[in-house]
């Protein structure tokens, strides 16, 4: 398939005809021999006397050669290219909202890292989630942080570096000391309203139980289900703890089941990494992405045609000049 990158330049093709019909003929004064008996000589010879001008008309072949050169040059300026066959590939593209718990209990240093050393829960989460964000090349990422209230830390974006930086800027209790799981889900629902994708995913991580949401987690999960939002829940911490230090696995399971997502628990950094990888596989949605067709420039062909026609015209001129000299 051949296309022109600058198709509008083909409008220049009729320009010589417009100039020929619209512009006046070129006139040039030349020296002439004046004789007093010109009219008598013309009358005697029967020649037709007209104004002192002469129009030199070109042959049909000359006009055709000039038209070919002009057409070839215009075609070259329009940059013709040959397009290869379109190629499609399967990619994963989604809008993913991450909801991270910043309640006071996330400061507990009881979460083993990959070397077995105990680190703060939030520090472990940041390390794993930062890597997860960096690998989302075809997805849009959003970030919600929640404690006593839920806040949008980063709207949906493909600027993964900025989203990762905003995650690293978070700190324990910056959203309040308590845990508002229902409000975090409600905020995610609100911001998914502007999303154009059909597969909406919320990954919610918490180490506690809901202690102060204006919307209960159960109601928020039902609304999310109606809006087509799948919620994948991750629980870290002690299920047998007390107060804000007890993670409510049962509620997290119900949220995931209601919305068509899945529930996971993680006891260390390796397990948390595996959880995010597993969610990525389960929530994968493949779609066709058209790849740019291969372009092959064809500019050299019209230029070569123009050069060939010019060579033919020059040979004709040379042959005519040589014939005149031979007759002389």
Give the pLDDT band (50/70/90) at residue 187. very high
Q: What does the pLDDT average to over 71-83?
A: 88
Burial 91-125 (b: 16+ CB within 10 A, else e): ebbbbbbbbbbbbbbbebebbeeeeeeeeebbebb
Q: Is 45 exposed, middle or buried (0-12, 13-18, 19+ CB in 10 A)?
A: exposed
Give the pLDDT band (50/70/90) at residue 244. low
Q: What does the pLDDT average to over 142-161?
A: 93
Whether the predicted pLDDT of 190 surpasses 90? yes
% the chain with pLDDT above 90: 29
Cβ atoms 309, 65 nearer than 8 A: yes
Q: Please state, in angstroms and rounded to a whole number, the distance separating the CA atoms of residues 213 and 184.
A: 9
Whether the predicted pLDDT of 55 surpasses 80? no
* Residues contacting 284, CB < 8 A, separation 6+: 92
User: DSSP letters along 14-71, please?
Assistant: THHHHHHHHSPPP---------TTHHHHHHHHTPPP--S---PPPPHHHHHHHHHHHH
Give the pLDDT band (50/70/90) at residue 327. low
């Amino acid at each position: 398939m051949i296309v022109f990158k600058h198709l509008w330049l083909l409008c220049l093709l009729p320009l010589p005809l417009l100039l020929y019909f619209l512009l006046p003929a070129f006139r040039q004064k030349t020296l002439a021999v004046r004789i007093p008996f010109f009219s008598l000589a013309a009358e005697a010879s029967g020649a037709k006397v007209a104004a002192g001008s002469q129009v030199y008309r070109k042959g049909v072949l000359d006009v055709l050669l000039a038209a070919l050169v002009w057409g070839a040059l215009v075609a070259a300026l329009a940059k013709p290219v040959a397009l290869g066959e379109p190629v499609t590939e399967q990619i994963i593209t989604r809008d993913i909202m991450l909801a991270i718990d910043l309640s006071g209990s996330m400061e507990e240093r009881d979460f083993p890292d990959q070397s077995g050393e105990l680190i703060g829960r939030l520090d472990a989460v940041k390390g794993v989630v930062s890597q997860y964000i960096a690998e989302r090349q075809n997805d849009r990422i959003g970030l919600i942080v929640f404690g006593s209230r839920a806040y949008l830390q980063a709207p949906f974006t493909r600027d993964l570096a900025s989203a990762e930086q905003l995650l690293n800027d978070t700190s324990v209790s910056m959203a309040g000391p308590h845990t508002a799981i229902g409000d975090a889900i409600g905020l995610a629902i609100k911001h998914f309203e502007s999303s154009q994708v059909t597969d909406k995913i919320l990954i919610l991580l918490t180490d506690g139980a809901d202690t102060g949401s204006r919307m209960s987690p159960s109601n928020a999960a039902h609304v999310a289900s109606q809006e087509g939002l799948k919620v994948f829940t991750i629980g870290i911490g002690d299920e047998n703890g007390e107060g804000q230090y007890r993670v409510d696995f049962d509620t997290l399971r119900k949220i995931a089941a209601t919305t068509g997502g899945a529930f996971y628990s993680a006891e260390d950094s390796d397990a948390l990494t595996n959880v995010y990888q597993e969610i990525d596989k389960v929530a994968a949605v493949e779609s066709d992405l058209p790849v740019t067709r291969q372009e092959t420039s064809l500019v050299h062909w019209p230029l070569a045609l123009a050069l060939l026609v010019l060579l033919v015209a020059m040979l004709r001129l040379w042959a005519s000049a040589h014939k005149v000299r031979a007759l002389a």
